[in-house]
Every structure is written in structure tokens, then in C-alpha cells.
Structure 1
Amino acid sequence: MANTYDKAIPFGSADLEVTGLFKRGKLGGNDLPLIVLIHGGAVNAAYFDNSSFSYPAILSERGHNVLNIQRSGYGDNPIPRTQTPIIDSIPVITNLIGQVYRNEVGNQEGVIIFGHSLGAATTFAIAAQSELPFPLLGVGGLGIVPSLGKTGFLPDVDPAPEGDRIVIPDIGKLFSLMFGPIEYIDGNLLTADALFSSSQAGVKSEIKEFEAGWYNRLTKEIFPAVKVPVQYLAAEYEIAWQGLDEAQPKFDRLAKLFTRSPYVEAELLPKGGHNYEFSKNSPKLLDLRLEFISKMTERAKLYSTAFSSIPVLDFAQSLSPSTKPEFLANLRAALVNVGFFYLTNPLVSPTIQEDFTKKGIELFDLPLEKKLEIEMVNSPHFLGYSKLGAEITALKTDYREQFDWPDEEAIPGFRNSLEQYLAEVSRLAVSFISLVAEALDLPPTALNQAFETPQQHKLKIIKYPAPATDDKTGSKFQGVGPHKDSEFLTFLLQATPHHGLEVQNKAGDWVSAPPIPDSFVVNIGRALEALTGGVCTATTHRVSLRSENFVDSDGNDLGPRFSFPVFQGVSPNLSADKIDLVIPKHIRELVKDEKVKSDAEATFNQMFRTCIGEGNLIARVTSHQDVGQRWYPDILARALKGQQDFLAR
């Protein structure tokens, strides 16, 4: 049985009891993630901790606290009384991890869980919960490959029908199911002592439960709901397949089901069976797990600085000498740490805004043939109407339609309405040139050099229809894909109450930015990031078209989403030799990540090597490839080749 632990922690109830075997890290373990291990069926906690190898010992030596969980019905834990022990164990194991995380160690960075077989099913089910009593950094699962067929562990004729544990008459068949071809087994690991200490007859109720409904539960509910990084592994020889040719397409389909995870590391492990820890290639498995732990540990460090919400700034504070210092401090924090903020009380006329919003929405009600009369493909200036599917972001088609400049004749009075609204937002945008400078402890006029008179501001009028087919995960359609804006600042009016705008923090998580009444969403563009050497951060964002974003809290249909961004442009002729900007040392030191600094330097060199207008043209050509093909075919060809070369690295 497992013996590498400092403390055994019984947990649960008389109906379902588990035990946590806790091992403290050699270095105290309080600065590193807690590692949790969950074994599968027909084995006990010694699967991870036996005379041949001990994951708790290995991880403890590296400084981690380790919780090796003995599931219900294994070790000395009694057979669970419930007929659904897997699903019923999820809250029990979740709360046990939470208790250990709170009481045994204290200030760890978070939790990483690894599961094998049914333990992997439990691991992913824990990760799929909407709320957890501990910060979950990532999960790894090996050997959970749901299929519609039977597992092979319940014989057609049960030799012990009254018993709680599985009895398989054909031991050779069982051995083959669990370990694969004998030539791949490491005899130095699969010793008699290790085999007999870790093996334990499986619990019938959990196998019956798994075969009855866990295929749909895993593939349709659990895998798509996991929102943390995933390491998904399987062996060449599993219960569901035999050999790589059969395994690879099935494995690839399963790995693609983690649609909401920000990071999926999927690998099919060759030359080994379901219990891969005993294969000759087991060092590869250990290396993969240790590398995943290292990546998630680094991610945990980012969690400490990663934002989880979008800050709200009150523009009225900037207008009063008594409150302006507080506004500038909040603006600095938003510029440096988030790259996005809500701006309330923006002093844009409500009447002008409402009239513009009304006319902007009416534009999309025009007949398609009328809209196509001013289709963007006919304009070398990228002005006009873009139909659904005409724009590409992050190499994927966007599901939206938009006007970059509509026809005055289509909606009488629209041009006047647009110009009035743009004038209001432009005044707001101009004020931020000095406010951003002051927030960075620069003279108020320090950033004026980046602009020309009159300044160039670009307005888009965008409609996001609900996808024709239900898209609960947001994986089938993107409103607009992950990207960073190119200009100085963007002032976005979310004209309808839809959720959908999402902002990515430094840990890779997507943070929702739902509409706040009477506010703009303001975000930093790559030009400002480059000008400030990465001090101001341009943050990746997207628009998700998940089905839930098109209904209100009562389930009522909200119709299409409308948004109106104004992009504050720097001078199109701006180049490196025209920029003389020195950011104060104490402001530069706010950026701790050297990669951010180097990325910003690379962006600066790319954007301002000639002039920024040239870079913006390339970006527009790759986004609107139909326009590029018609008016700038040579530039489009070079840009697409550059994208292909980058992806091939």
C-alpha cells in the first residue's frame, strides 16, 4: 500500500469515504502549488506510490506538498453505499482538497491535479465545476478515453453476482487491457511487490455507473466545461483502442473537446498501455508531468498580477483639481496592469449618442442589395460595407457585418448624426493625450508629437448577429477573433446590453467586459504600447458569440449585438526618427516582465521602421483580403507569406 505520506486525512461520510495521504514538501512547500494525485479503478493510491516509484517522494523533493487521494472503496476505505460513487465523490474530493489547501499549508500559489483512468474522469469533473474552494491552476488526465463500448471489466456472466468487487476470470485478458503488449512493460518497475501493493479489485458500482452514462457526461458536459489549462494524455494501447493507427484519430477528436480551456497540451504516448507508469517509456510521462507543473507554476506567478475584472474610471474626476490626482493614479494602474478600463461620465451628449445609435442600427435594416452598392471591396480606402464573413482575424473568419463609412443617401440625416457623435468622442479622445502623459509622470504635451492636426479618428458601426446554429461554447463562430487594436486608444460604445466582449489577462484567462450604462470601454492600442516601451499594455480581446450572450437573465432574446468603436489614430507619417520620448525610470520599472519590454521594442521597430501608416495598411489588407486582392495584390501576397513563415517557425 502507499506509504510515502506524513498524515492520513479521512474525509466524507459513512456512505462514501475517501482518505487524503498528505506529504509535505522538503522545502516547506508553501511557495509552490499543491499537487493532487487521484488513482483510477482496480488500483489504489499505491499506484502513484509504491516500491518501484513514488510520485509523492519525487514531488516532495522538488518542494511541493502532495495530496495522494485514496478513493472510496480502495485501500482501507469501505465500499461506497451509493450506486453512483464517481459523481458522488466529486464534491467530497473537492472539499477535501479545499480543506488541505486551507489548513495544512497556507500560502501556496494554487493546486494542480493529476488523475489516472477513472481518477482522470474525476479530475476533469472537478475542474468543470463553476466554483471551487481553492485556486485551480491546471489539470492532467491520463487514460480517460470515453467510448460507447463496454470497458471489458464487467464479465457477461458475473462469477460473483452478490459481491461488491469485480471478479474477472481471465487474468491474462485483464493484464493485457491494463498494461498493453508485454514487450513495452518495464520489468524493473512492474515488480511483484509493486503490482500486488497497488492492485485492488475494482468496485462494481463505479464501473456500472461509468458504462451507463459517462461517455455523454464527459464528452458533452465535462470536457467542454473545463476552463483551466489541461494536459490530456493517453497510451497507444488503451481499453478503447489498440495501436496508433486506431488511436490517433479518436484521441484527436477527444482532445478537441476541451473548447473552453485556455491551453491544451495533448499527446498520445507510444509503446505503452493504459497503466503507462509501468512502461519502458515511463520517464517520458514523468517529464511531461514535471514540465506541466513548471508551466503552471509560472502561470501561478502571473495570477498574482493578472486582473480578474475591468477597472472603472470616472472621467468627472479628471476635471477637478481635488480629484484629478486620484484619477491619474487609477489611469496609470489601468494603463500598466490591464490595458482596458470603463470610462463613466464621459461628457458625450446623451441626445447625440442616442440619435447616432438609432441611425446606426437602422443602417443594417437596409436591403442587402442596397448595402452592397457601397461594399468595401469597391473602395481602395477600406471604406463602406463589409458583409458577413468578409473580415478575417487571427486567421479565422469573423461573424459580423459592419460599415466603415455609410452612404448618406441610404439613411437621410445619418452623416450629420455621425459627424456630431464623432466630434463629441474626438474631444474626449484629445483630452486623453495629455491625461495619459500626466499619468506616466510626463509633461502634458509630451505625446503631442505623435499626432497631427487635425487628428484622425476612425469610426466603425458593427453588428454581431446571433449565429444561425446554437453555439454554447463559442467554438463554432467568432464575432471577432483574438487581437490587439493598432492605434493609440479605442473608445467603444456597447450600444446593446449583450455580453460578449472578453479581455485576456496575463494568465491567459478571458475576463468578461459586459456593458455598463452611460460608459465607454477604453483600451490601449499597439501604437501607445510601442511608444511607451511596453509600459502601457495593449491587451488581447475578442467578441464571443456563445448562445448565452444573446439572451437576458430571464432567457429573453436580445437580438443582434451592436457596437461602435472609435479608433484614435496617431499621425500616419510617424516614424522612429520623429519620436523623442523618455519615460521616467520609476515608471519604466513598473513593468517587471522582460518579455513585455522586448515585445514592445519589437513592435516599435516593426511599426515605426518606416511609418506607422504603412503598417496599418498591411493590417487592413490581411483583415480585408477581398479589398487587398483587388487593390493591393502584391502587398497582400507579401503579408500572407509573412504569416505563413511565422506559423512555420
Structure 2
Amino acid sequence: MKQRFTLEAAGQDFSGKLAQPDGGQAGLPVLLAIHGGTYDCDYFDIPGHSLLDRAVAWGFHVVAIDRPGYGNSTPLPDAPDLIQKNAEALNAALPDLLAALGLAGRPVCLIGHSIGGAVALTLAALCEGWPLAGVAVSGVGAETPSESAEAYAQMPRQYFVELPGPVKDQVMFGPEGSYPPDMPAASHAAHRPVPLSELTDITGGWQDRLAGIAARIRVPVHYRQGEHERLWLVSAARVEDFARLFTASPQVDAELVPGAGHCIDYHLAGPAFQDEQLDFAALLESAEAQP
């Protein structure tokens, strides 16, 4: 069963989707799915590519949240560290949100993509007032190409900007043949305007904060990057370097995904990738959650 929600928590509104199995499996953590920039929570629920559907079949409860400024979630005041501010807002709201959705006290595994991956890692480093079991991220790294920051710097100085679909398709996907025939068109249903400060933060300040963030994460980490990633500088060695940043984590599983671009979920490698994330989360059921 899936349902949309809009709830007030920590003084602001949050919207999203709740997906629940019939009963579910005892001990499994709640999955909190955090979308990237230019997509809303429907990123995780495109028909035929839905993490929500796959997770429910595994017995998970899933909350796909609209980050501030997406869906019906209240936008945050503009700030150069908007990724940090997203994580702080979610950290403050999560206890009330989970309680309102009937999931209070359940361990949480964060799943974040792209800018949502940066938010998820920052949130994992904060983690106050709710139990964190693990974090799985993709489409986020340690260094972006210099031309990305240059392109964002040339955009109009306004809160929201919109990237044209054809432009997004060029950077979100790998080469033709790496994704099924319904893509990239099917992904356009989740396209949304993005706060410009998210883009300038991910190509600047967040990379400077990354090492400090990673060092404060004390739960298992799952990390994947697509072989044909175009928004981050990527190689097997860079993936290993990224994994080494998590000095306090008891377990880091980091790999490059062959044949996939930035949005791994939407490629032919997507089903196996999602199964790996869910298997990681399922194995957390016996792990001690960080309070």
C-alpha cells in the first residue's frame, strides 16, 4: 500500500510517500529515501523502476520524503550551505514524522541519491533523537568537474532554477544501451525545479565539509557510483578513496557499478543495484542502531 502525505513537523510542512507491506518483516529498519536535486520523491517510484515497490516486496516500510522546497515541503531560507540546512531540518523533524506515520522508535536506514546522498550523509552525521541503523548512498562523490561549478555560477540569481529535460538526460544517463527503452522519458515524471543554492553547494562547500561529515558517521555505509557518472569525477580508485573517509564506520561497502550512469536506478543495472541496497538494509536488522 502506498499513500501520499503532508505533515507538519518542527515548524514546517513535509510531504512524501509512505509505502507499507502487509505486515512486514519484524526487525527490518524503516527506509527513509532522500531524492536528489531536480527530482522529487517520485524519483523512487517511477513505474517499472520503483524502489518503493521492490522494498515493499522485501517487507520494508519506506518513507520517500520530499526535501524542503519539493512537493508540498516548505522551502528553507536561501543559504550557501543549503545541503547542511536540509539535513538539519530533517534531523529536527524525523521523530515527529516517524511518530505521525506510525513508525516511532523503529531503526532507520537512510537511502540517498545525488544531492540527496549528500543530505543523507550529513543527516547520518547529525542523527539526534531517532535511531539510525545504516546509510546507503549513490550518485555522490568527493569532486565534481570544474565546468559544473562554472555552469551553475552563470545561472540567474534566483531561488529556483529549472534544468531542461534534454540537458538533464545527457548528464543523468549513461550511453545508449545502458538503460531500458522507456528511459529517460519515464523519469521526466519526477522532474522538478531545484534550489540553485543546492547546485552551488554540492559543487563547492559540501565537498569541503565531506571529510568531517564522513568521520562522524558511526553506522555501516553502502556506496555506489555508476561507471558512466558524468556529474562526479569517478574511477575505481576514487571510490576506494571515498570509502576511506568513513573512519568511524564499522563497515563500508563501496563499488563502481558497471554500465550505469548517474541515476543508477533507471539503468539496466538498476534492479540488481536496488537489491544490493535492500540486502544491505536487511542485514542491519541485527545491528545496534546509533541513538
| TM, length-normalised to structure 1 | 0.41
Which residue is 2:180 aligned to?
186
Aligned to 1:223: 214
Change beyond 3 A, Cα 1:154–1:38: farther
Higher relative contact order (CA 8 A, sep 6+): 2
Deviation string, structure 1 residues 506-551 (Cα, Å, up to 9, x no partner) = x9x9xxxxxxxxxxxxxxxxxxxxxxxxxxxxxxxxxxxxxxxxxx
Pick from 237, 259, 269 the counterpart of residue 249 of structure 1.
237
- The aligned counterpart of 1:90 is 87
Partner of 1:435: none
Looking at structure 2, the residues matched to 166 and 97 of structure 1 have their Cα atoms a distance apart, in angstroms, of 28
Unaligned residue ranges in structure 2 (runs of 5+) = none
Q: Which amino acid aligns with 1:9?
A: L
Whether the 8 Å contact between 2:174 and 2:260 is mirrored in structure 1 is: yes
CA 1:61–1:280: 2 relative to 1, 3 Å:
closer
Q: Is the 8 A contact 1:7 1:23 kept in 2?
A: no
Q: Provide the residue aligned with 2:198 in structure 1.
A: 206
Displacement of 1:175 in angstroms is 2.0
Instruction: Give runs of aligned pairs for residues 194-593 of structure 1, distance below 5 A.
Output: 194-218=186-210, 220-238=211-229, 239-241=231-233, 247-299=235-287, 303=288
**CA distance change for structure 1 residues 106 and 42 in 2, over 3 Å: closer, same or farther?**
closer
* C-alpha separation in 2, matches of 1:151 and 1:41: 18
User: Cα gap change, 1:294/1:48 in structure 2, threshold over 3 Å: closer, same or farther?
Assistant: same
| Separation of aligned partners in 2, 1:21 and 1:13 | 20
Distance 1:106 1:178 in 2: 33
Distance 1:151 1:287, change over 3 A: farther
SS in 1 for 2:2: coil
User: 1:162, 1:217 → 2: CA distance?
Assistant: 24
Percent identity among equivalent residues?
25
Structure 1 residues 61, 172: closer, same or farther in 2, change over 3 A?
closer
- Where structure 1 has 5 or more consecutive residues not aligned to the other structure, the ranges are 304-506, 510-649
Q: Distance in 1 between matches of 2:89 and 2:158?
A: 25
* 1:165 maps to 2:160: yes
For 1:598-613, list aligned pairs within 5 A: none
Q: Secondary structure at the match of 1:73?
A: coil
Shift in CA distance, 41/257, structure 1 to aligned 2, threshold 3 Å: same
Paired amino acid for 1:48: F
Compared CA separation, residues 20 and 62, structure 1 to 2 (3 A): same
Tell me if structure 2 keeps the 8 A contact 1:42–1:199. yes
Q: Kindly state the Cα deviation for residue 180 of structure 1 after the two structures are TM-superposed.
A: 2.0
Partner of 1:134: 130
Q: Which has the larger radius of gyration?
A: 1
Superimposed CA distance per residue, residues 264-299 of structure 1 (whole angstroms, 9 cap, x where no aligned partner):
111111111001111111121012112102211232
Corresponding position: 1:27 with 2:23: yes
Partner of 2:119: 122
Q: CA deviation at 1:79?
A: 4.2
**Following TM superposition, by how much is the alpha carbon of 1:214 offset from its aligned partner in structure 2, in angstroms?**
0.9
Q: Partner of 1:49 in structure 2?
A: 45
1:50, distance to aligned residue in structure 2 (A): 2.0
Shift of the alpha carbon at 1:235? 0.9
